Structure 1
Amino acid sequence: MRKALPLLLGLTVLAPGLAFAHPHIFAEARLEVVGGADGNIAELRNVWRFDEIFSSSVLMDFDKNTNLKLDPDELAEVGKTVLESLADFNYYTTITEDGKTIAVARPDVINVDYQDGQLLMFFAVKPSTAMPIKGKLTFGVYDPTMYAAMDFASDDDLVAIGDPFKACKRAVVRPDPDEVLAQNQASLTDAFFNDPTGTDMSKLFATRLELTC
């Protein structure tokens, strides 16, 4: 696989000895949770805008005709590569229903664009099982390897859309890193910092949308 996409996926490192325990790729994210007329979660719509350094590396790897831009077929190849590779990471999507983790189904396509020197990805995922809009529901986007930092610049970038949510209480939770570290000291061993892919610690730091319905 080309070098750029594994950076996003956390599957490889740039050089021997490079630590996984802090991000090397940065993306601004938007997440729209859509409620269906049947009272279930219909889909989660994602928009990711990546930093210019990572975006330029993708350009170099996928610009086959070297015209310094990504043509439609090249953008489609990026989307196809990410679609295949992110399956092992639940498409960076985390959903819980009353504390139970819910996986997501494979999206039909990951749409990709390249604007003003930045790579953008647009796609929707659905819960793998029917998910009624009731109880305590949480939704977020994070990289379990901690290699990519998915940032919601504003609380308005985490939204719930649809009439079924009118009876729900909405909150955007941004965990305090110091509190997370203090509460999980026993888990922060040398083994974790050497191989955080074997843990789920990054979930504790991730911004999330909480709905109580």
Structure 2
Amino acid sequence: MRRIFMNATALAATLLLPAGPANAHPHVWITMRSDVVFNDKAEVAGIAVEWTFDDGYTQMALEGLDTNGDGVYSQSELEPLTQENLKSLKDYNYFVVPRVNGKIVAITDPTEYGQIYSNGKLELHFTVPLAAPADPRKAEFLYKIYDPEFFIAMDYIQEDPVGVVGDLPKGCHLEVKPVVSDQQLDQTRQMLSSKGADWKPPEDEDFGGMFAQPALVMCSK
């Protein structure tokens, strides 16, 4: 396992496969926030994400990147890591799953991406455009951000977890559903323990999505 956290994810998926999904647990932790990006027609045009990595991954990822030895990780020094991360994330749709009326909608490659190391924390940010804008006044729009194999735990920050870039349509507001309760987790674990290694969740959901907090744009009709 080197600097690319997605390599670790692929490795974990291989290791966890014989034991089944009930034994999966995270090995990397990310705290995050996100913004819903609106265009000038008050349609959802994309999702902007900000991830802060845990200390263990940060130290592994930064190994050998301070090429001039000055103790500062410049944008140029972090650029190869950013490119490697995004290239690896592409196969997983960048961990961003938007839905319109319950159906997953397509996204395109990230824009406005970058990575910084500050105050002992490594942070990655990028914006994932929707392939086609969605109007939340006409159809329910929600999204989840998560690792489908649950190797990486992704939790929203407590304050200001979700925001807006652009103008939120009149009569609409943002809502982040609560973290899954311990009781719900126990029920899910019990259900998973009875399933085989080849079991998959229904309704085009996946394993990691069962534990992810949905963020919604709620509009009055």
Partner Cα distance (2:74, 2:186) in 1: 44
Q: Deviations over 1:43-65 (max 9, x none)?
A: 21111111111100011153445
Q: TM-score, normalised to structure 2's length?
A: 0.79
CA, structure 1 residues 146+161, in 2 after alignment: closer, same or farther (shift >3 Å)? Answer: same
What is the RMSD computed on CA atoms of the aligned residues?
3.1
Secondary structure class of the residue paired with 1:4 = coil
Q: Deviations over 1:45-102 (max 9, x none)?
A: 1111111111000111534455554333221111111121110111111111110111
1:34 CA displacement = 1.9
The partner residue of 2:74 within 71, 74, 85 is 71
Aligned to 1:211: 217
Q: In the alignment, what sits opposite 2:57?
A: 54
SS at match of 1:89: helix
* Residue type of the alignment partner of 1:206: A
Q: Is residue 189 of structure 2 the alignment partner of residue 179 of structure 1?
A: no
User: Counterparts of 1:19-30 in structure 2 under 5 Å?
Assistant: 21-30=24-33
Q: What is the match of residue 168 of structure 1?
A: 172
Task: Tell me which amino acid in the other structure corresponds to 1:125.
Answer: V
Count of residues in Structure 1 that have an aligned counterpart in Structure 2: 208
The TM-score, its normalising length taken from structure 1, stands at: 0.82
Counterpart of 1:136 in structure 2 is: 140
Q: Which runs of 5+ in 2 are unaligned?
A: none
Q: 1:210 to 1:186 in 2, by over 3 A?
A: same
CA deviations on 1:123-170 (whole Å, 9 max, x unpaired) are 111111232223211122111111111111226211244434331243
The structural deviation recorded for 1:5 is 1.0
| Inter-partner Cα distance in structure 1 for 2:75 and 2:153 | 27
Q: Which runs of 5+ in 1 are unaligned?
A: none
Q: Percent identity?
A: 25
Contact 1:139 1:209 in 2 (8 A): yes
Question: In 2 relative to 1, CA 172–52 (structure 1 residues): closer, same or farther, beyond 3 Å?
Answer: same
Residue range with higher mean Cα deviation, 76-85 or 31-40: 31-40
Work out whether 1:201 is the aligned partner of 2:207.
yes
Decide whether aligned partners of structure 1 residues 180 and 169 sit closer, same or farther in structure 2, where only a CA change above 3 A counts. farther
**Aligned partners of 2:25 and 2:85: how far apart in 1?**
21
Whether the 8 Å contact between 1:39 and 1:132 is mirrored in structure 2 is: yes
